[in-house]
Amino acid sequence: MDDKRQRFEAQALPHLDSAYNLARWLARSRVDVDDIVQDAMLRAYRGFDSVRGHDVKPWLLAIVRNCFLTAVAQSGRRTHMPLPGDDPENGDAAIADDAPDPEVSAIQADHGRKLSRVISTLPQEFREVLVLREMEDLSYGDIAQVTRVPIGTVMSRLARARSMLRDKWMDDVEGARHGMP
């Protein structure tokens, strides 16, 4: 095995789950997600010699994002699609907890589905910074690198995303539970 491949496997492959997570939140179609991640990993391997530093995750996620944007531009399709849990053919399982109480597990799974549905309603530029920060735990600087926007824009989008998420949660989920319109 050559040196480039060994370094790629050691530094990039550990972030494959993160690449799939970001692609899933951006594209939502399992077929599209697989295609995007496959294309991104191929591009990442080809360009791996150009990586500076040891933190490959932001660099790899930027490639995933660019592959998604390229796929959208080429196909001309919308970026908002049904959630994986809403598509019975998709086979994605609901979010579940290992709690011994089935009622608690059902409530948590329902909240997880509702949260996913609410996040999916956010515009893409807000959804992606929210996913990168809250689910992938990237720093503001790394998010700026991935999205190619200034850190101030990342902070602003993240604040707006959190605010929109809270408002939508209160309107759609909490309001519905309390019988409010």
Angle, helices 57-75/16-27, rounded to nearest 10 degrees: 30
Q: Is 146 in contact with 61 (CB distance < 8 Å)?
A: yes
Task: Quote the tokens at residue 70.
Answer: 């390229």
Q: What is the pTM of this model?
A: 0.64
What is the C-alpha to C-alpha distance for residues 152 and 141, in angstroms, rounded to an integer? 10
pLDDT digits (tens, 9 = 90+) for 100-158: 566 666 767 777 788 888 888 899 999 999 999 988 889 999 999 999 999 999 999 99
Contact 67, 43 (CB under 8 A): yes
- Asked: is 1-78 a CATH 3.40.50.10310 domain? The reply is no
Q: CATH: 1.20.140.10, 1.10.357.10, 1.10.10.10, 2.102.10.10. Which one for 95-181?
A: 1.10.10.10
